[in-house]
Amino acid sequence: MLYRLDATARDVALVFGAEAREDPWAGGHVAPGGFAPVITAGREAIAGPRPGGLAPRRMTPRLWGVPPPPSVPHSGMNGSRHGILSVRNLDSPFWIGNLRNSEFRCLVPATAFMEWGRPSPVDGKRRQSWFACADQPIFAMAAVWKDSEVPSFALLACEANAALKAVGRETMPVILPPQPKAWALWLNGGWDRAKGLVAPYSSSLMTQRA
């Protein structure tokens, strides 16, 4: 998977109500192992429970791909040479603390994402399929962040919708609804409610191009 964020840090920050003072993003594509803007509402530099009141949203660069624990092979946790790119098992001990503690949840803004389709029956080559949201030019993908070795993040994955299944995919990134209350729930809400956002995005609200 690849994705694009064709907007500046300032424009993205305006959409999601975040501060972008530390992010120089000017727009472009994001590949595994690369840095990308991530919106958090936690306290990355301070240990301990979050104090009362809502922390300001900040947009900062983070690496796409969380280093796996030394005892777990990459292949067993959807890993790659770039680290763990997505969270598929919501009950995994490696992720459950980040998911239950809203301080470690984050938004990853994007304007489109690419998935490789099934091999062509003509030449056997896999084709790129790009997807975007018709109802929100800049959308937020649900993610979690970790600082074990580097400031990194991993996207949440869920069952693919009909559009993604049509090109041979079984999973897709979790795309949040365009309502600010959905972003707030993912960043600040309890896990009992926030996990309800982990669902396929409606195919009728997506556009596709090769």
pLDDT digits (tens, 9 = 90+) for 130-139: 999 999 999 9
Distance CA(146)–CA(83), nearest Å, equals 12
Q: What are phi and psi of 163, to 5 degrees?
A: -65, -40
Dist CA 201 CA 175 (whole Å) = 6
Q: How confident is the model at residue 48 (pLDDT cuts 50, 70, 90)?
A: low
**Per-residue tokens: 14:** 């305006």
pTM of the model: 0.92
pLDDT in tens, 181-207: 999 999 999 999 999 999 999 999 999
In sign, the C-alpha dihedral spanning 178, 133, 66, 78 is positive
Residues 2-209, CATH architecture:
Alpha-Beta Complex (3.90)
**Secondary structure (3-state) at 200:** coil
* Cα 92 versus chain centre, distance: 17
